[in-house]
Amino acid sequence: MQKFDAFTGNLAVATAMKQVNPDVCAAYPITPSTDIMMIFSDFVANGEVNTELVTVESEHSAMSACIGAALAGGRVMTATSSAGLAYMWELLGVASGLRCSMIMTCVNRALSAPLNIHCDHSDAMGARDTGWIQIFSENAQEAYDNIIQAVRITEHRDVRLPVMVCLDGFIISHSYEKMQYMEDKDVKDFIGEFKPYRSLLNVDKPETFGAMVLPNYYMEFKRQVREGMENARQVILEIGKEFGDKFGRYYSYFEEYMLEDAEVVFVVMSSAAGTVKHVVNNLRKRGVKAGVLKPRVFRPFPHVEASRVLRNAKFICVLDRAETFGGEGGPLYLEIKSALQTDKNNVPVVSRIFGLGQRDFLPIHVENLYEEIEAFFKTGKIKMFDYVNVRE
């Protein structure tokens, strides 16, 4: 049985956390993720969870405590945003390198300077190469569902890598929407019991975690992280299917929206996908074969599969809510462009940066983009890289 109710993104995440009932949570307040831990603290205060809540003095300590707790053999969760994630950065590679199973919600927010508390993806993109699985959510429903699936992914024997579930700051984290949620028992059954692979608390079989490793062995450790990441591909698909079979909402690497015969394809992640889909609907009414590819899993990136679904595209516009300053385009653009190479597909693909610091990204901006593309079909000319809705 599932029920409907109104949830903000943060409430959805906190609710999923409550149902997962982690053994330890360590977190530090930062807008817009603070809410999650505030709501969760109430669950702790009212004895609704078994969680030991560690109200650390910084995000650096939050991630450090999560690592210590995860290796002590239990379920661990945290949440952060922006500067908080940046402050954890040193430990992100420690968490993956030590093969910690844990889940972090990243409520996406811009990085300073200038200071801005609003949404963009520069925080998560700064962590894209740290060995964390990264899953992006379009709305509260997806955030909720992703957290629950993440438990199975991070704890899978063949994966054992930390998972970051991302949702857009304010746009999703603080807006109410109708969402379907499961009963506690069904979540419990889906995630199962936690079985630690190794544990610091196993005093009868002591192990050294985090040894000093010189050039003679270091690279094998990193190769194993890549193996975990590669294994995650199949695991993510299986769990997405199992979740769908149980709860009716199916998940894979990405959502294909009117993609089958699409000639103009927008590639975009998270909440902005909703805006783009809306415009695509209108374009379709006008007879334009437009579609949307909405990646959900950014790490590991599904190159082969993305390339396959883009095979018929005549033009691709990749929308990034993060910069690479000096790179050819945004981070998602770079992935898509290299994905196309797996098929030697030379379809024109452009990079557009939008919504930094939560600059408005409205249907009109997508319509303008389509006009640019339409002009390109006539003139053959278009800017390879540009910002959307920005002052000169």
- The reply to whether 67 sits near other proteins by the rule CB under 8 A is yes
- The reply to whether 98 sits near other proteins by the rule CB under 8 A is yes
Distance CA 332, CA 351 (A): 9
CB of 76 to other proteins, least distance (A): 8
Listed ranges 50-58, 230-238, 272-280, 284-292: which one lies at the site for other proteins (CB under 8 A): 50-58
CB of 83 to other proteins, least distance (A): 15
Contact with other proteins (CB under 8 A) among 3, 4, 47, 57 = 57
Q: Which residue, chain included where needed, has tokens 């190479």?
A: 341
DSSP 3-state assignment of 84?
helix
Distance CA 72, CA 53 (A): 15
Kindly provide the b/e burial profile for residues 345-370, where b requires at least 16 CB atoms within 10 angstroms of the residue's own CB. Answer: beeebbbbbbbbbbbebeeebbeebb
- The reply to whether 202 sits near other proteins by the rule CB under 8 A is yes
Contact with other proteins (CB under 8 A) among 13, 14, 20, 76 = 76
Q: What are the tokens at 121?
A: 């993806």
Contact with other proteins (CB under 8 A) among 48, 90, 183, 230 = 90
Contact with other proteins (CB under 8 A) among 29, 41, 94, 282 = 94
- The reply to whether 310 sits near other proteins by the rule CB under 8 A is no
Distance CA 22, CA 16 (A): 10
- The reply to whether 313 sits near other proteins by the rule CB under 8 A is no
Alpha carbon 286 to chain centroid, angstroms:
33
Query: Under 8 Å CB-to-CB from 172, ≥6 apart: which residues?
Result: 8, 9, 137, 138, 139, 140, 143, 270, 271
Q: Is the distance from CB of 210 to CB of 71 less than 8 angstroms?
A: no
Q: Which is nearer to other proteins, 6 or 213 (CB)?
A: 213
Listed ranges 151-159, 198-206, 260-268, 309-317: which one lies at the site for other proteins (CB under 8 A): 198-206
Q: Which is nearer to other proteins, 38 or 213 (CB)?
A: 213
The DSSP symbol for 128 reads T
Listed ranges 62-70, 138-146, 355-363, 380-388: which one lies at the site for other proteins (CB under 8 A): 62-70
- The reply to whether 48 sits near other proteins by the rule CB under 8 A is no
Q: Which is nearer to other proteins, 70 or 356 (CB)?
A: 70
Q: How many CB atoms lie within 10 A of CB 172?
A: 29
- Binding residues for other proteins, rule CB under 8 A, total 45
Distance CA 5, CA 181 (A): 8
Backbone φ and ψ of 10, nearest 5°: -65, -40
Q: Which residue, chain included where needed, has tokens 């909405």?
A: 294
Contact with other proteins (CB under 8 A) among 60, 128, 174, 249 = 60
Positions in 135-174 near other proteins (CB under 8 A): none
Q: Is the distance from CB of 228 to CB of 162 less than 8 angstroms?
A: no
CB of 49 to other proteins, least distance (A): 10
CB of 214 to other proteins, least distance (A): 7
Q: Is the distance from CB of 127 to CB of 92 less than 8 angstroms?
A: yes
- The reply to whether 46 sits near other proteins by the rule CB under 8 A is no
- The reply to whether 55 sits near other proteins by the rule CB under 8 A is yes
Contact with other proteins (CB under 8 A) among 71, 239, 262, 264 = 71
End-to-end CA distance of the chain: 53
Site string (211-250) toward other proteins, x via CB under 8 A: xxxx--x---------------------------------
The residue count of the chain comes to 392
Q: Which is nearer to other proteins, 24 or 349 (CB)?
A: 24
Listed ranges 195-203, 255-263, 273-281, 338-346: which one lies at the site for other proteins (CB under 8 A): 195-203
The conformational region for residue 301 under phi > 0 = left, psi -120 to 50 = alpha, else beta, is beta
Q: Is the distance from CB of 98 to CB of 135 less than 8 angstroms?
A: no
Contact residues for other proteins, defined by CB under 8 A:
23-24, 26, 50-52, 54-58, 60-62, 64-74, 76, 90-91, 94, 98, 199-203, 206-214, 217
